[in-house]
Structure 1
Amino acid sequence: MLRHLFTLIWNRKRANLLLISEVFFSFVVLFGVGAVLITVGKNYLAPQGFESTQVWRLLVRAQQGQKMPRAELDDVLRQVKALPGVQTVALTSGNLPFTFNTNNSDFTYKGRTTPFANTYDADDHYAEALRLHLREGRWFRPADDGTHHRPVVISEDMRQYLFGDEPALGKIFTYNIPGKVTKPEDEFQVVGVVDNVRMESDFSAAIPSVWKRLIPYDTTHWETAAVLVRVAPGQGGVLQEKIARTVAGVTRQWSTEVRVMEDDRQHRRLFTLVPVVGLCLMGLFLIINVALGLFGVLWYNISQRRAEIGLRRAMGATGAGIGWQFLGEMMVVTTFGVVLGGLLAAQFPLLHAFDLPVQPYLLAIAAAAGAVYLITALCAWQPSRLAAAIQPAVALREE
């Protein structure tokens, strides 16, 4: 039977070449959309690695051309923390979660080099503010003031890149700067390891991360200070106003901005979803057009092959057999298109395109193949029924 179907397809190779091309492009479109949706969905279901609810971000800025002494800034933060409803205040760098501000570096340890990792400055209260989960070791503490190397906490994926399955605590790594003599300030000692974090958006993958300890009571002068403020449940605009007044009460030369981190999260979520939804709508439009084209081509083929169908029925073929013949021809043609599309799609995981793991690509290939077969079967079902309903006497009389 299969050999007979191949013979029929070969006899109509010009018409079937168009069908194979349509199936091929349908597969490619579905593969691309599927890879994006699977990657986004997998990232969304992965643990966030921290808790952003009840966290606000406070930005304190000095006037243009001026800077904030660290001692005066610490005094402001102590007064903010003393406000009723404020649970924790943590000083950090400007690359806060769900913002578009990033700070990346790559590091090395005994010949192992990491990809670009997110680096954060963090004080001793940062882990409490975001409720990071420690897997090994500890967070920063006052006893770290006199250490020779700058203490750091790294994420689990960063530990894998640097140390593999070896213990990480106490080890020292450096910036990856070829040809440059390593200075003490470029050496970092691991004191803790936390779960992987996804701070870009709900749909982003975890990125290796390093938190460097902010030394308290240093002489640094800040132009802009980023602060994480964890508040008690139910706090709102009244507390935000109190925080702004507290900062202004210390010095009116500084401006403040208080934003709810969940608002930033929603904004970043929409920013990510808009292009994904647009891609899905474009893919759906193309698939609908391809499906209509397949349906029309099959309908036309049946009208051109009425004499063949009538002759087969006259020789004893059943209506169901005729229907299955047309459906089988379409499935074989679809297989040619799927195989060609699969060969193209297989290049993506082989070349590690877009730095994605292999699994989403394999799932996208399987999903695209299943969807193409389903679409083709649905498009071929009604024309196959029409072919099965043709009576031999009617068909032969028309000829």
Structure 2
Amino acid sequence: MLEIKPIINTLMRSKAGALLLILQIAITLAIVSNALSIVSNRLDKLTEDTGYDEQGIIAFTVLTYNRNIDRAKQFKEDMLKLKEIDGVIEAMTVSSIPLSSSGGSWTISNHPDELQGKRADSGYIQANHRMVSAFGLTVSEGRDFEAQDETDGSDGQFPSVAIVSRAVANKLFGEGKGLNEFVYSGDNMMKIVGIVETMKSQWPDSKMGDNVVLIPIERSSMYQRVIVKTQPSKRAQIIKMIEPTLLENERQRVIIGVKGLDTAKQQTYQRDTLMIRMLVALIVFLAIITALGIFGLTHFNISKRTKQIGTRRALGARKSAIFRYFLVENTVVTLFGVAVGSVAAMFMGGQLMALYSIPALDGSIVLYTALVIVVMSLLSVYQPAKRAANISPSIATRSI
């Protein structure tokens, strides 16, 4: 028999300690479950597929301060020189580097008058017609760019075709639609000739993180971004060769931030990584404090009830009964704390979702956290309960 009624009566006679522990467990459950939810959400973002060949792409910027050179011609020579490096598959100038938190964005619409049609805020990337393969992307519907699709913009001509991410197509034309439809931005009209299922923008953690438009136009500027597609096994070696190779062609410029696309992504998510580390530290801290609280309260109760325990032992109570008593008492207190904490966790989750647009708290996370706290409480009370069970009846009765 678990002696629930005597346990409840004992707790009611000593409310303060039990109430403090219930409150501590409730607060721990509420905070930890919401922290775990945020950590899980951030980890999903850090590990989700971006669509790009992150391990094979090198990205960097070239700042040219020689105004007397033909930049377009110079960059064509540069790209040819880079392609001569062993392990380089493709090299090209681009208007933006994906996942880098920097680049161009615009609002596109499915109607010439954007006020009358559906609109989508989107990042865009301009490069030559080989950009899809250079980024390691796959066109899931429609076709890739062809050489005749590309323009250089020198005569003001804008491309008439585009490839978009699935998110853009769905937002403008509905689920599963968009291929061969037209999109508009200002005076520019482009036909969607291809759709990429997964493609992250320059700002992967923003509301337009999945919205990207690829445009086959190649331009050059004083502050020019470049990507190099490589064999992943040779990328580290190639990174070291890029700056000397380009400076050999033209010295009046600076090569900035030569790094892998995966590194650019990590830098973009630095705040998320820091947040995860801080929340994990908070979770561990609260778990330790709660475990110590359970241990301390049980130890205090045993010290206070030494005579009572000794009397029970003298009357024939087994060690297992004493041990079980304190396990059950601790479990009752923990379950009260878990019940209160579960309600508090869901309320806190709702407030965080309303104030900070954090995804809704999953009830399964609250359940798992509650189970861990129950197990942790049992482990915390094990040693004090074992000590209580070993109290000798003779030692206890001497204190009478």
TM-score tier by shorter-chain length is 0.7 to 0.9
The percent identity for this pair of structures is: 21
Q: Equivalents in 2 of 1:33, 1:41: separation in Å? A: 12
Q: Equivalents in 2 of 1:189, 1:348: separation in Å? A: 47
Q: Report the CA distance between 1:322 and its aligned residue.
A: 2.4
Structure 2 match to 1:180: none
Judge conservation of contact 2:122–2:213 (CA < 8 Å) in 1.
no
Given candidates 178, 182, 187, the residue that maps to 1:168 is 178
Q: Equivalents in 1 of 2:223, 2:367: separation in Å? A: 50
The runs of 4+ residues in structure 1 deviating greater than 6 Å are 67-70, 146-149, 199-206
Please say if 1:120 is aligned against 2:125: yes
SS of equivalent residue, structure 1 residue 371? helix
Judge conservation of contact 2:25–2:334 (CA < 8 Å) in 1.
yes
Please say if 1:184 is aligned against 2:194: no
Judge conservation of contact 1:198–1:205 (CA < 8 Å) in 2.
no
Distance 1:389 1:173, change over 3 A: farther
In the alignment, residue 179 of structure 2 is paired with which amino acid? L
In the alignment, residue 17 of structure 1 is paired with which amino acid? L
SS of equivalent residue, structure 2 residue 336? helix
Q: Equivalents in 2 of 1:281, 1:163: separation in Å? A: 45
Structure 2 match to 1:38: 40
Q: Equivalents in 2 of 1:90, 1:344: separation in Å? A: 54
TM-score by length of 1: 0.78
Judge conservation of contact 1:149–1:189 (CA < 8 Å) in 2.
no
Structure 2 match to 1:131: 136
Structure 1 match to 2:81: 80
Structure 2 match to 1:144: 149
Distance 1:41 1:145, change over 3 A: closer
Q: Equivalents in 1 of 2:230, 2:31: separation in Å? A: 46
Moved more, 285-294 or 307-316: 307-316
Q: Report the CA distance between 1:239 and its aligned residue.
A: 5.1
Structure 1 match to 2:244: 241
TM-score by length of 2: 0.78
Q: Report the CA distance between 1:150 and its aligned residue.
A: 4.7
Distance 1:203 1:58, change over 3 A: closer
SS of equivalent residue, structure 2 residue 244? helix
Judge conservation of contact 2:97–2:202 (CA < 8 Å) in 1.
no
Structure 2 match to 1:155: 165
SS of equivalent residue, structure 1 residue 298? helix
Structure 2 match to 1:344: 344
Structure 2 match to 1:268: 267
Gaps of at least 5 residues in structure 1 are 176-182
Please say if 1:380 is aligned against 2:381: yes
Q: Equivalents in 2 of 1:297, 1:200: separation in Å? A: 53
Q: Equivalents in 2 of 1:348, 1:70: separation in Å? A: 56
Alignment of 1:261-340 (within 5 A): 261=260, 264-265=263-264, 268=267, 271=270, 273-314=273-314, 316-340=316-340
SS of equivalent residue, structure 2 residue 194? strand
CA shift digits 1:123-167 (9 cap, x unpaired): 312211121122212233234359987533233344444444232
Judge conservation of contact 1:62–1:68 (CA < 8 Å) in 2.
no
Gaps of at least 5 residues in structure 2 are 111-115, 152-156
Given candidates 88, 91, 97, the residue that maps to 1:89 is 91
Q: Report the CA distance between 1:113 and its aligned residue.
A: 5.6
Given candidates 194, 197, 210, the residue that maps to 1:195 is 197
Given candidates 207, 210, 213, the residue that maps to 1:211 is 213
Distance 1:269 1:108, change over 3 A: closer
SS of equivalent residue, structure 2 residue 133? helix
Q: Report the CA distance between 1:61 and its aligned residue.
A: 2.2
CA shift digits 1:228-285 (9 cap, x unpaired): 1123553533454223323x1xxx5544347131673486289454453344234323
Distance 1:292 1:135, change over 3 A: same
Q: Equivalents in 2 of 1:333, 1:95: separation in Å? A: 55
In the alignment, residue 167 of structure 1 is paired with which amino acid? K
